[in-house]
Amino acid sequence: MYLRQLQEGVEVLLQRETLPEAERDQLRQRVMILDAWKLAKKALSAGDMVQLNTIAGHLHPPELNDETLWQQFGLAPFAITWRMAGNFPPMISAIQKLRQRARLEQDHSQEVHMLWGLIAAQIALGQLQEASTCCQELQQLITSLHIPAPLVAYPSLFQAQLAYARNQLEVAQRAALEAIQKAAPFQYMDILMGAYEVLVHASIARGELSKALQVLNEMEGVNQAADIPLFQPWIEGLRSSLWLAQGNLASAADWAEHTPYRQEALTGSVYSREGTYLTLVHVDLAQQKYQQALQLLAALLESAEQVSRVGSMVSVLALQVAALQVLGSTQEALLVLARLLPLAEPEGYLRPFLDAGEPMQQVLQAWFCQEQEAVAPRLSTYAQTIFKAFASEQRQSEMETSASLISSGHPHALSPSTEPGLEPLTPREQEVLCLLAEGATNQEIAERLVISLTTVKKHVSSLFLKLAAENRTHAVARARELALL
């Protein structure tokens, strides 16, 4: 409605015979911008990437000699195309220029519109720290300017996405629910679908599968009512992820076999469907189709690398580590991990590692066994943080399993054979454990690690305690049982 009124106003002005030619040209350009904006919205709803590129190809990027509002409208078709293609660097560059002008003109209301696009791009590029800062600025502007819904919901959506990437699952769920509550009365689909996606993923990660199913069904109902094909691949991928979590591999495998998205990802992926492509990888891994998974990951990695989309690279590389490990290619997996850790550490990613599952945990253990002298201390600390997150999830899963067994009156709910959550080993303990497995004596370990004999004995005693082992042989055996070696 607003765009139609805006265009009618411009067309009325064009009918004035006394209008200077320069102003007439500017108004004609504005009409073209509005026409392109309407076509772009229609193509976006249909997920028509070809049409979006065609629209952008017939336009020139907005000039800085027009009003900020019209620069924003002029940027929109390009921003939509860049976002669909996952090509965010030019989008950030263009938005930063417009934001700078809005700031100079103290047009804070336009700055709000610039900021939400900027944050979405930063998250995709893996710039989580910058996105967090901008999100705080956006929230402050919205509060001070009393910006109405649905834009008021964007900070909650971004907080949910950032929290999930860092494995702050309760925060992610709470923020996603806030975004949904704020956007639902307006049926603002960009916010709604993004928030539903986070809420489903976070619920699955916490083992709340009934809740995940409820949210997913609600998401599908909202999308069916809006009739927007763009989000259908999201829903299909999320449902398949839920099937995997439920142990329903047959349904997930059937979907993966018949979906067109695999071929699409291999020949020309669409960024908005990346989550669906990654679900296909998880299904491949569950079916032990490791080479097929690696082929798809290679295509996705190439696409992300071409536009420096680090957020995507982190997710893809994490799954590459897992796929290589289950293939028995631990050394190759370690090489990929060595590339992944420096990319992910500055931004505090955790969830992509955890979503890669036990194979990632095994490769991390192998990484700790390597020589650590050349490794930056921050990377070692970061790897230990990831490993602790794995241990925490395992303890939580065991507690939920025990609670479920107790509530159902299972006779073995409190069986002493139930494996308690393992306290994570420190990097040095992992090194000592690897040398114990090689048969090294305490003196040999001290010499290899250049530490005192007393320190070695302390580490060995700590290993016995953590592994519930009675001696060195038992410790190595327990470590192998727990996939620590």
DSSP string, 140-206: HHHHHHTPPTTGGGHHHHHHHHHHHHTT-HHHHHHHHHHHHHHHGGGT-HHHHHHHHHHHHHHHHHT
Rank 39-48, 329-338, 388-397, 443-452 by mean pLDDT and report only the highest. 329-338
Does position 404 have pLDDT exceeding 90, yes or no?
A: no
The percent of residues in the chain predicted with pLDDT above 90, rounded, is 51
Q: What is the mean pLDDT of residues 222-239?
A: 94
Instruction: Provide the CATH number for the domain around residue 190.
Output: 1.25.40
| Cα–chain center distance at 41 | 25
Does position 140 have pLDDT exceeding 60, yes or no?
A: yes
Task: Name which of 99-103, 286-290, 449-453, 479-483 the model is least confident about.
Answer: 479-483
**pLDDT of the residue at 334:** 95
The percent of residues in the chain predicted with pLDDT above 70, rounded, is 83
Does position 208 have pLDDT exceeding 60, yes or no?
A: yes
Structural domain harbouring 218:
148-227
With residues binned 3-state (H G I as helix, E B as strand, rest as coil), the percentages for the chain, rounded to 5, are: 80, 0, 20
Task: Name which of 10-24, 367-381, 401-415, 445-459 the model is least confident about.
Answer: 401-415
In a domain, 184, yes or no: yes
d(CA 439, CA 168): 41
Q: Enter the DSSP assignment of 468.
A: T
Distances (CA, A) of 290 to 16, 281, 297, 328, 457: 67, 9, 10, 11, 42
Does position 156 have pLDDT exceeding 90, yes or no?
A: yes
Does position 152 have pLDDT exceeding 80, yes or no?
A: yes
Q: Which residues, in sequence order, are CB contacts of 408 under 8 Å at separation 6+?
A: none
**pLDDT of the residue at 408:** 55
Task: Name which of 35-39, 80-84, 395-399, 444-448 the model is least confident about.
Answer: 395-399
d(CA 98, CA 40): 20
What pLDDT digit, counting tens, does each position of 286-314 carry?
999 999 999 999 999 999 999 999 999 99
In a domain, 403, yes or no: no
Q: Among residues 255, 315, 304, which one has the least CA distance to residue 283?
A: 255
**pLDDT of the residue at 366:** 87
Are 432 and 460 in contact, with CB atoms under 8 Å apart?
yes
In a domain, 176, yes or no: yes
In a domain, 255, yes or no: no
Distances (CA, A) of 147 to 104, 113, 144: 20, 11, 8
Does position 261 have pLDDT exceeding 60, yes or no?
A: yes
Long-range contacts of 455-460 (CB under 8 A, 24+ apart): 456/432, 459/428, 459/429, 459/432, 460/432, 460/436
Burial of 268 per CB tally in 10 Å (0-12, 13-18, 19+): exposed
What pLDDT digit, counting tens, does each position of 347-399 carry?
999 999 999 999 999 899 888 877 666 788 899 899 989 988 988 887 776 66
**pLDDT of the residue at 178:** 97
Q: What is the mean pLDDT of residues 423-440?
A: 86
Q: At what angle do helices 108-124 and 128-145 cross, to 10 degrees?
A: 160
| 200 vs 430: which has the higher pLDDT | 200
Q: At what angle do helices 290-306 and 274-286 cross, to 10 degrees?
A: 160
Are 485 and 479 in contact, with CB atoms under 8 Å apart?
yes
Band (pLDDT 50/70/90 cuts) for residue 183 is very high
**pLDDT of the residue at 418:** 40
Number of domains in the chain: 1
Band (pLDDT 50/70/90 cuts) for residue 413 is very low
CA-CA-CA-CA torsion sign (164, 170, 172, 176): positive
Does position 129 have pLDDT exceeding 60, yes or no?
A: yes
Tokens of 459: 């580490």
Q: What is the mean pLDDT of residues 205-209?
A: 95
Tokens of 395: 């303890």
Does position 186 have pLDDT exceeding 50, yes or no?
A: yes
Tokens of 252: 């997930």
d(CA 235, CA 223): 9
Band (pLDDT 50/70/90 cuts) for residue 8 is low
What pLDDT digit, counting tens, does each position of 18-75 carry?
778 777 777 776 777 677 767 777 776 776 767 766 765 565 555 545 565 566 655 6
Distances (CA, A) of 469 to 187, 398, 464, 466, 478: 58, 21, 5, 8, 7
Distances (CA, A) of 410 to 160, 210, 418: 37, 21, 13
Q: Among residues 278, 275, 284, 234, which one has the least CA distance to residue 257?
A: 284
In a domain, 381, yes or no: no
The mean predicted confidence, pLDDT, of the chain is 86
Does position 342 have pLDDT exceeding 80, yes or no?
A: yes
In a domain, 208, yes or no: yes
Is residue 69 classed as helix, strand or coil in its secondary structure? Answer: helix
**pLDDT of the residue at 65:** 54
CA triplet 343, 349, 351: central angle to 5 degrees? Answer: 130
Is residue 89 classed as helix, strand or coil in its secondary structure? Answer: helix
**pLDDT of the residue at 407:** 57
